[in-house]
Amino acid sequence: MTANIHPTALVADGATLGKGVEIGPYCIVDADVVIGDNTILQSHVVVKNNTHIGQNNVIYPFASLGQVPQDLKYEGEKTTLVIGDNNTIRESVTMSIGTNGGGGVTMVGNGNLFMALSHVGHDTQIGNNNVFANSATLAGHVEIGNHATLGGLSAVHQFTRVGDHVMVGGMTAVDRDVVPYGVVSGERGVLAGLNLRGLKRRGFDKARIAKIREYYSMIFEDHEGTLEERLHAVWLENQNCEDLKMWREFIKSSSRGMSMPSRI
């Protein structure tokens, strides 16, 4: 089955469209764009600048994908936006291509939901099965893991990482890395506990959750010593725990520092 292109859509020669692709009214698709099988552009969607979109995505009206970065250092270099499979991209979502300073690729994985007006900045790397509520915004060079949820009107500072299974509250500004399984909320993303409901929904059993809660309390809620010292002490006694190993690697690789609980 060939692509179905509405008469009012502008699809440049050289664009690559897979089987079953639908290009709705008034869409604009550039020459160097690739769109995979069964992806739907409903109407008024703009796709530009070497953007590669996978299969079975649904893109709603007025989404703008692959526009140049909102970065004054960008000088027109040829970079790209790569979007995986089975994503839902709602109305007026914006996603930028990468920059040479960030590796040149903005990457979106599979199975993500981007609600209306959410934004993905240049060179951002997004995993799979995340939810971005209305007007959730990611600055450049952000990293989002898998199964994270970002609340409405939340914002993530450039170069900040949000780990797997994290819950970011609505209207939260995140300017430090958020440990996997964490919950952050408030004006500057205070670590407010664990995303226990999310872990249960994802099939974590009671024993595993109990261990995660125990280690969280020892590492993040204890006031003795530094974060690194507490982490090291817990690690020495529990080196076979995969969740603790993930936390250790995440924390040790942080360049911005970690979101922490309020001390008030």
- The answer to whether residue 150 is domain-embedded is no
Are 16 and 130 part of one and the same domain? yes
- Domain end position, chosen among 141, 161, 182: 141
User: Which one of the listed residues 44, 119, 122, 147 is annotated catalytic?
Assistant: 122
Whether 54 maps to a domain, the answer reads yes
**Inside any domain, residue 189:** no
- Same domain? For 8 and 134 the reply is yes
User: What pTM did the predictor assign?
Assistant: 0.97
Last residue of a domain, one of 141, 166, 186: 141
In a domain, 229, yes or no: yes
**Do 16 and 133 fall within a single domain?**
yes
Does one domain contain both 134 and 210? no
Residue after which a domain boundary falls, among 102, 124, 141:
141
Active-site residue, 37 included: no
The set of residues, in sequence order, having a beta carbon less than 8 Å from that of 203 and lying 6+ positions away, is none
243: annotated active-site residue: no
The reply to whether 122 belongs to the active site is yes
Question: Which residues, including other chains, have CB under 8 Å from residue 9's CB and lie 6 or more apart?
Answer: 23, 24, 25, 26, 27, 28, 29, 41
Instruction: Based on the fold, state whether residues 129 and 49 are members of the same structural domain.
Output: yes
Question: Is the residue at 194 inside a domain?
Answer: no
Q: Which domain holds residue 60?
A: 4-141
Do 218 and 99 share a structural domain?
A: no
Residues 6+ apart with CB under 8 A from 129: 109, 110, 111, 112, 146, 147
Tokens of 146: 């898998």
33 plus 122 within the same structural domain: yes
Choose, from 71, 123, 164, 177, the residue flagged as catalytic.
Answer: 123
Q: Would you write out the chain's pLDDT as a tens digit for each of its 264 residues?
A: 699 999 999 999 999 999 999 999 999 999 999 999 999 999 999 999 999 999 999 999 999 999 999 999 999 999 999 999 999 999 999 999 999 999 999 999 999 999 999 999 999 999 999 999 999 999 999 999 999 999 999 999 999 999 999 999 999 999 999 999 999 999 889 999 999 999 999 999 999 999 999 999 999 999 899 999 999 999 999 999 999 999 999 999 999 999 999 975
Task: Answer yes or no: is 89 within a domain.
Answer: yes
Query: Do 11 and 122 fall within a single domain?
Result: yes
- The contacts of residue 204 (CB under 8 Å, 6+ apart) are 212
Of 109, 121, 140, 182, catalytic:
140
Do the Cβ atoms of 46 and 30 come closer than 8 Å?
no
Domains of the chain: total: 2
Token pair, residue 171, equals 């209207």
- Are the C-beta atoms of residues 78 and 97 closer than 8 Å to each other? no
Q: What is the pLDDT of residue 264?
A: 55
CATH number at residue 74: 2.160.10.10
Strands 16-17 and 22-23: unpaired
Residue 232 included in any domain: yes
Q: What is the CATH number of the domain that holds 229?
A: 1.20.1180
User: Residue 68: inside a domain, yes or no?
Assistant: yes
pLDDT, position 242: 98
Q: Which two tokens stand for residue 190?
A: 């205070």
What lies within 8 Å, CB to CB, of 253 at 6+ separation is none
